[in-house]
């Protein structure tokens, strides 16, 4: 009886604590709040009476801490660590764990590789137990987080037979963080890495960052900006990097760095960085050996070369493979890899920037070393709200291609707009390249299964900063989350991921889950509509990329302007990428090429991406192109209002501080959606010379008003070097 009372008291305390504590988003999706479904709670309590981690590695210590924290929160009572398997023990270990020796684990684990895991109910010593097992430590950690997610989302745990293996090998965040702690295209404060105080001061946030990543299977982090600074490779900075690498190691996370191609000159005192120069090769070999001496599991390098002013092999009349291979040879003896970016464009403005990566890389297929991956952005231009998939996917069969998604919302409303990106990620992953017939999806290119590559990877440009809630917008956390989940398993649906995330982050209440999920799922299309409908692209503000700027012209490069991309004129609008235009369509394989080439068949969501069409063109809706364009802009802005209304119904059902924060951001988003709509419609109207269709409210400002707006301090601007 006394125990029962104590129990109830604990629950009341926990409940009131949760109710009173204003959440600040710091805990991400790892809040571990008390299971609210009473039946499930009883069930979980009966099934998990104690736990045992039969392992003493640093990873096992992390697991112990996580279990204590999670089970106390979720079950409302502390669940003891036990010495041997008794009734209701959660048993955790690797294949050789003594406590699991009766279970034929070798066999059960034969297909899951070094990072996969199994979870199943079974009897040990005739007692009902639940087992989480893996071949290696990291798999054990991933299995535990998977299991905790099941509790967090109120899944049944009575008959488990789970086997999970990641679909891509390198699941990695790319931090565009500078050594001065500014973050290029970062909207959540400054860099997490406090270089000045490292290596002596270890910010506790580093641990929480690592926990969050491990919970979604992210196993690598590139600490530094692709617009790289060679200083990171100097001994003083390598000490700091080592401290982070040591800390991340037990979480299964390897550290990678960006390599500035001209580092041999800048910090090595050489006269050249020519990749075929013996001294340069030697310099990199020595530098790499120096790194591996202190970081034995250093992952390797990410390189942006000969793009946007970055130095590279072309400075010495060498090609990308020459550059990548030189670094690859240096890291090879240590099992390191090189991720060489395909986001390149020439100093000479080409006919069409979207063609450049393919033109430069496709001929190099087959010439890269085995430990090189070419990292390709999801679309051929630059992380726009909607792009067709990059034509390099499926076009370089002999080279493992890695996906690069942008999690930070550089072109999607920064950290102010609620935009759930999983639908964008999925749209690209599920696209069919037809490289080897139907079903040759981008996902199968990048997971290596299409061409049987052993290396595979997915990179996400991080949206993480030192804001208390990590990502700026509370819902932006879902983009970090869904990136990790999809890198682990690209077959998951955007809906399923949103479902998990909402349950863990806000509430398991069915109505709340469905409401927030609806907003999230709709948000990307809504944003495309009020920013860049019908295949428009690159019409954002100059340099900072904040807000609309379809009028941007007369800049140092034509392909840095907006007019270059929308090509609006009196007769029509859109970029002609067919044979009568830039012929970028030739880079797609059949039948994708034919499908997009024909304006009648082309998905209207990409129409102005591939075609220049008349303002009077009849659209599928029956409207003219001009009317349809207006319609979509207005629909987008109206839907932003709908998101607000939906959110407002959640008052009192989610944490109040979070509720109010999102509410205020949605208000800004709605105003900015109207701003985008008005500015774009008024601007394009100067060409179409047609009225805004009846029934739509007229913009309350003039085009001149929108054009003269300036934002010198918009966040995330790329600094000048
Ligand atoms: C662009 C960003 C720029 C990055 C570049 C890249 O505006 O800051 O350096 O991508 O990916 O979208 O290298």
Query: Does the residue 514 lie in any domain?
Result: no
Residue length, the chain?
721
Q: How many CB atoms lie within 10 A of CB 207?
A: 15
Do 556 and 652 have their domain in common?
yes
pLDDT at 4: 58
Query: Does the residue 518 lie in any domain?
Result: no
Do 149 and 259 have their domain in common?
no
Q: Is the CB of 225 under 6 A from ligand 1?
A: no
The Cα-based distances of 277 to 258, 272, 282, 368, 434 in angstroms read 21, 8, 9, 18, 40
- Residue ranges, the chain, pLDDT below 70: 1-21, 719-721
The CATH number given to whatever domain includes residue 68 is 3.30.379.10
Ligand 1 atom closest to residue 718's alpha carbon, by position in its atom list: 8
Do 483 and 553 have their domain in common?
no
Give the largest Cα separation in the chain, rounded. Answer: 84
CA dihedral 378, 382, 388, 389 (to 10 degrees): -20
296-310: b or e for each residue (b if 16 or more CB lie within 10 Å)? eebbbbbbbbbbeeb
pLDDT at 346: 75
Query: Does the residue 523 lie in any domain?
Result: no
Tell which of 115, 130, 164 closes a domain.
164
Q: Please name the residue that has the structure tokens 């930070």.
A: 408
Query: Does the residue 329 lie in any domain?
Result: yes
Cβ partners under 8 Å of residue 194, min gap 6: 181, 201, 203
Q: Is the CB of 343 under 6 A from ligand 1?
A: yes
DSSP H or E stretch at residue 337: strand 337-341
Do 154 and 260 have their domain in common?
no
Do 174 and 70 have their domain in common?
no
The CATH number given to whatever domain includes residue 329 is 3.20.20.80
Do 229 and 136 have their domain in common?
no
The CATH number given to whatever domain includes residue 642 is 3.90.1330.10
pLDDT at 6: 57
Q: Which of 226, 260, 404 to mutate to test the pocket of ligand 1 (most atoms within 8 A of CB)?
A: 226
Q: Where are the beta strands (DSSP E) in 386-477?
A: 401-406, 457-461
Do 178 and 34 have their domain in common?
no
Do 133 and 176 have their domain in common?
no
The structural domain count of the chain equals 3
Do 125 and 182 have their domain in common?
no
Told to judge if 308 belongs to the known catalytic residues of this protein, a careful annotator would answer yes
- Closest protein CA for atom 11 of ligand 1: 343
Do 493 and 546 have their domain in common?
no
Query: Does the residue 100 lie in any domain?
Result: yes
Ligand 1 atom closest to residue 225's alpha carbon, by position in its atom list: 9
pLDDT at 721: 41
Q: Which of 176, 229, 377 to mutate to test the pocket of ligand 1 (most atoms within 8 A of CB)?
A: 176
Query: Does the residue 580 lie in any domain?
Result: no
- Closest protein CA for atom 3 of ligand 1: 718
Do 58 and 139 have their domain in common?
yes
Query: Does the residue 690 lie in any domain?
Result: yes
Tell which of 115, 148, 164 closes a domain.
164
Do 58 and 28 have their domain in common?
yes
Q: Separation of 226 CA from ligand 1 center, angstroms?
A: 8
Ligand 1 atom closest to residue 226's alpha carbon, by position in its atom list: 13
| CA distance between the termini of the chain | 70
650 φ/ψ angles, rounded to the nearest 5 degrees: -90, 0
Tell which of 164, 195, 227 closes a domain.
164
**Token pair listed for 188:** 């959540």
The Cα-based distances of 290 to 20, 236, 325, 338 in angstroms read 52, 12, 19, 17
Give the structural domain span for 253.
Answer: 170-505
Query: Does the residue 676 lie in any domain?
Result: yes
- Closest protein CA for atom 8 of ligand 1: 718
């Amino acid at each position: 009886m006394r125990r029962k009372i104590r129990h109830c008291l604990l629950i009341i305390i926990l409940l009131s604590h949760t109710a009173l504590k204003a959440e600040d988003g710091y805990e991400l999706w790892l809040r571990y709040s008390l299971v609210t479904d009473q039946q499930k709670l009883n069930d979980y309590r009966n099934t998990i009476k104690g736990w045992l981690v039969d392992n003493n590695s640093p990873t096992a210590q992390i697991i112990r801490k996580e279990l204590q924290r999670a089970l106390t929160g979720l079950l409302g009572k502390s669940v003891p660590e036990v010495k041997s398997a008794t009734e209701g023990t959660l048993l955790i270990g690797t294949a050789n764990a003594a406590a699991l020796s009766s279970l034929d684990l070798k066999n059960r684990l034969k297909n899951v590789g070094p990072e996969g895991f199994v979870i199943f109910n079974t009897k040990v010593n005739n007692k009902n137990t639940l087992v989480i097992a893996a071949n290696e430590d990291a798999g054990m950690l991933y299995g535990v987080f998977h299991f905790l997610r099941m509790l967090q989302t109120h899944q049944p745990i009575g008959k488990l037979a789970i086997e999970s293996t990641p679909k891509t090998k390198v699941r990695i965040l790319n931090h565009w963080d500078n050594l001065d702690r500014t973050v290029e295209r970062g909207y959540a404060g400054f860099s997490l890495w406090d270089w000045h105080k490292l290596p002596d001061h270890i910010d506790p946030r580093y641990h929480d960052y690592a926990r969050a990543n491990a919970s979604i299977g992210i196993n690598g982090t590139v600490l530094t900006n692709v617009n790289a600074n060679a200083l990171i490779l100097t001994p003083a900075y390598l000490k700091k990097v080592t401290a982070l690498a040591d800390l991340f190691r037990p979480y299964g996370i390897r550290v990678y760095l960006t390599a500035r191609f001209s580092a041999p000159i800048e910090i090595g005192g050489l006269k050249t960085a020519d990749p075929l120069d013996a001294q340069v090769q030697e310099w990199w070999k020595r530098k790499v050996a120096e790194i591996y001496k202190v970081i034995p599991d250093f992952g390797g390098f990410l390189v942006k070369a000969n793009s946007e002013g970055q130095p590279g092999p072309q400075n010495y009349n060498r090609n990308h493979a020459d550059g990548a291979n030189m670094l690859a040879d240096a890291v090879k003896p240590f099992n390191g890899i090189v991720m060489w970016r395909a986001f390149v464009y020439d100093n000479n403005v080409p006919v069409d920037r979207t063609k450049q990566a393919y033109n430069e890389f496709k001929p190099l297929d087959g010439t890269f070393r085995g430990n090189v991956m070419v990292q390709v952005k999801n679309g051929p231009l630059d992380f726009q709200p909607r792009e067709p998939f990059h034509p390099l996917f499926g076009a370089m069969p002999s080279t493992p291609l890695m996906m690069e998604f942008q999690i930070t919302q550089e072109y999607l409303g920064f950290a102010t707009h609620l935009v759930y990106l999983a639908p964008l990620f999925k749209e690209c992953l599920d696209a069919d390249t037809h490289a080897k017939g139907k079903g040759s999806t981008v996902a199968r290119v990048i997971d290596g299964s299409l061409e049987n590559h052993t290396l595979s990877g997915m990179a996400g440009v991080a949206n993480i900063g030192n804001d208390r809630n990590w990502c700026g917008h509370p819902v932006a956390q879902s983009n970090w989350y869904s990136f990790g989940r999809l890198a682990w398993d690209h077959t998951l649906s955007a809906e399923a991921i949103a479902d998990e995330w909402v349950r863990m982050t806000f509430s398991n209440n069915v109505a709340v889950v469905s409401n927030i999920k609806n907003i999230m799922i709709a948000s990307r299309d809504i944003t495309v509509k009020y920013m860049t409908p019908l295949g428009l692209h690159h019409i954002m503000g100059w340099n900072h990329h904040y807000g609309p700027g379809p009028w941007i012209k007369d800049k140092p490069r034509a392909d840095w302007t907006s007019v270059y991309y929308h090509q609006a004129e009196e007769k029509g609008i859109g970029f002609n990428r067919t044979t009568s235009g830039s012929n970028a369509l030739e880079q797609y394989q059949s039948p994708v090429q034919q499908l997009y080439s024909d304006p009648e068949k082309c998905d209207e969501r990409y129409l102005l991406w591939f075609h220049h069409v008349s303002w009077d063109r009849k659209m599928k809706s029956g409207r003219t192109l001009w009317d349809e364009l207006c319609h979509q802009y207005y629909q987008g802005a109206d839907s932003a209002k709908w998101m607000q209304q939906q959110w407002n119904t959640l008052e009192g059902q989610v944490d109040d501080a979070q509720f109010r924060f999102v509410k205020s951001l949605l208000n800004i988003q709605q105003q900015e959606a109207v701003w985008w709509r008005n500015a774009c419609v008024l601007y394009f109207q100067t060409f179409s010379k047609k009225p805004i269709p009846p029934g739509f409210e007229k913009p309350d400002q003039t085009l001149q008003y929108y054009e003269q707006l300036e934002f010198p301090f918009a966040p995330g601007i790329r600094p000048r070097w």
